[in-house]
Structure 1
Amino acid sequence: MAIPSSQRIFVDAVTRYCLARNITVEVRSDGWLIAMRSGERRHLAFAYDVGLNSATAHQIANDKAATADVLQCSGVPCIPHTLFLGPKLAAYAPAAGSWETMLRLLAENPRGLVAKPNEGTSGDGVFRVTTKPALELAVGRILAAYPSLAISPYVEIEDEVRVVLIDDRPVVVYSKERPFVVGDGRHSLLELALAATPAERRSTVLPGLFAELGRAELDAIVPAGDRRILNWRHNLDSGAEPVLLKQGESRDACIELAIKAARAIGIRFGSIDVVRTDGAWRILEVNAGVKMEALSRSHPELVYAAYEAALDKVFA
């Protein structure tokens, strides 16, 4: 869903940068297109991309299956994603068909699969499935809105970290903390979730809980001291909160892996999501557009500094 330009810190950061340096700036298309001019030089920014990345790197990063393929070829540990084309691209689909391959993936992954649009951000249209009917429903919903989808094995993610890089230099590193409640031995999971979640955030935080659990589990009393995660996804748009990662081995490991991923794809300015599963770090996704709306609520100075550093590269 498009966010009004008045709420996008990206637009404010680019505008503020240009005004401070006598760079002519013009905001078009409700903030999704920004034209900048410095002397005889003209430069464009679109959506959350300042224009540092090549067209090829941008397209690969925005394609989840292509990103996984490139990383695997480059020896960078990652979560595999398999591409499936929708009806509009049926002419390019393999002759053997896709459904049999999807069922094989489901059989090979007893913990389930994650189906999502092959292109897109913010966690829209992401489904965790463990049964054939659920897979069929998820595929139908995704392909009704998107031309293709990607399927990956469901893995228990212990931690998820986002690393924002500019030419291999980390400018922002934060973890994504999912919303949770702690039991008191008197209230149900549903009661605790409703009490802990502000009304304006319930539509983003709670759907994942309702999709995963039945009524009996939601109504069960949570034992005192028990910690329950409210959403299996780490997406910031699904209620997770950004928490700056302190110096240490985990931060260093995530940065090192993110740099390898960025180099493999050719990304100069991007955000790389690194996840820890079974004690090992792997790349989940690479984003050519750097969206930091959630982080800006708690650390606006870091967000402005990151966009400023990227624009310095543009106008260097």
Structure 2
Amino acid sequence: MAGGERIFVQAIRRYCAEHDIAVDVRASGWLIAMRKGARCRFAFGYDIGLNSAIAHRLANDKSATAEALEMAGVPCVPHHLFLNPSMGVHVTGADWRQGMLALLAQNPQGVVVKPNEGTSGRAVFKATNSDDLDRAVTEIFSSGLGLVIAPYVEIEDEVRVIVLDGKPMIVYRKERPSVVGDGMQTLRELASAAGQDRRLRELAARELNAIVPKGERRLLTWRHNLDAGAKPILLDEGEVRADCAKLAIDAANFIGITFASIDVVRVDGIWRVLEINSGVMMEGLGRLHPGLVQATYDAALDRIFETAH
């Protein structure tokens, strides 16, 4: 097995080895062919091919996901779509920037600007004024055709649910990096001692240089992404796990998706769907719970090859 392979690729290799399935890994693991007899199945990116084309496209389009869930009455965070003006005024309209500024004005706490497609929290920006907004828009439109703007909300908790065939396979919360004050050190000093210096870029200088009172916890980022330093914490059976799983399953059932990772967030005490991802990435979780991640990919691959029989 090649060193440095993604956990996703390793899981497929293990499954295929145990089930006498020929596997051919190409493009540094982003394209995988799995052959059993005359049948061939593909995995691309983090997608193993269980979902229909329309469910896949809906899930990978944040704006379409929000619109569809709103139709179903499933609580969700709204995402407003804006297309790149390079596509022409007949596509984007002449007042696209005015529309963005209107959303900013409606949300004095700020907005979140991110690509309409994509995962892992890359190129995601918080904007509280027009200069922030313009920088975010310029950055995203430099490499993409669409972006979405969502209201910035104070997320009390974020949970990811991995759903397969209407069942919650894995449910975990994302615990953001934080430090606890000792009454003597500044936030910057506490974060540095904890090896979290790179999490401080989005905090104001007055926050960083203030002494944190003893026993008080301070979050180091507003982002819940594992790539931003959050840790996956498996949820035990209970009300929170049940509520999150039900909401995720309702969302998955409505758009007709079979295998997906669904992020739900608690805002003002109410759970809402944030995003649905058709490609199920479990790299961070797999480093902590490899057996659970392998079992989940195994169950999904079983569905693929049951269909192929």
When normalised by structure 1's length, the TM-score is: 0.94
Matched AA of 1:11: V
Q: Output the CA distance in 1 between the equivalents of 2:86 and 2:160.
A: 33
Provide, for residues 97-139 of structure 1, a one-character-per-residue CA deviation record: whole Å limited to 9, x for no partner.
Answer: 2111111111111111000011111101111111111111111
Residues 2-41 of structure 1 aligned to structure 2 (within 5 Å): 6-41=4-39
- C-alpha displacement of 1:280: 0.3
Q: Output the CA distance in 1 between the equivalents of 2:268 and 2:206.
A: 30
Matched with 1:306 is 296
- C-alpha displacement of 1:217: 2.0
Matched with 1:297 is 287
Structure 1 position 246 matched with structure 2 position 244: no
Matched with 1:212 is 203
- C-alpha displacement of 1:149: 0.5
User: Any stretches of 5+ residues in structure 1 without a counterpart?
Assistant: none
Q: Once the two structures are aligned, what percentage of the paired residues are identical?
A: 56
Q: Output the CA distance in 1 between the equivalents of 2:117 and 2:95.
A: 21
Q: Output the CA distance in 2 between the equivalents of 1:57 and 1:91.
A: 29
User: Any stretches of 5+ residues in structure 2 without a counterpart?
Assistant: none
Q: Output the CA distance in 2 between the equivalents of 1:92 and 1:257.
A: 38
Matched with 1:228 is 218
Q: Output the CA distance in 1 between the equivalents of 2:89 and 2:31.
A: 33
Residues 156-171 of structure 1 aligned to structure 2 (within 5 Å): 156-171=154-169
Matched with 2:151 is 153
Greater Cα shift, 4-13 or 282-291: 4-13
- C-alpha displacement of 1:91: 4.6
Provide, for residues 45-96 of structure 1, a one-character-per-residue CA deviation record: whole Å limited to 9, x for no partner.
Answer: 1111111001111111111111101111111110000000113323553434
Q: Given the superposition, is the C-alpha separation of residues 296 and 92 from structure 1 closer, same or farther in structure 2, using an over 3 Å criterion?
A: farther
Greater Cα shift, 83-92 or 5-14: 83-92
- C-alpha displacement of 1:40: 1.2
Structure 1 position 119 matched with structure 2 position 117: yes
Q: Given the superposition, is the C-alpha separation of residues 142 and 5 from structure 1 closer, same or farther in structure 2, using an over 3 Å criterion?
A: farther
40, 45, 48: which is aligned to 2:46? 48
Q: Output the CA distance in 2 between the equivalents of 1:57 and 1:5.
A: 34
Q: Output the CA distance in 2 between the equivalents of 1:230 and 1:147.
A: 31
Matched with 1:258 is 248
When normalised by structure 2's length, the TM-score is: 0.96
Q: Output the CA distance in 2 between the equivalents of 1:192 and 1:172.
A: 33
Q: Given the superposition, is the C-alpha separation of residues 252 and 61 from structure 1 closer, same or farther in structure 2, using an over 3 Å criterion?
A: same
Matched AA of 1:269: F
Q: Output the CA distance in 1 between the equivalents of 2:88 and 2:263.
A: 31
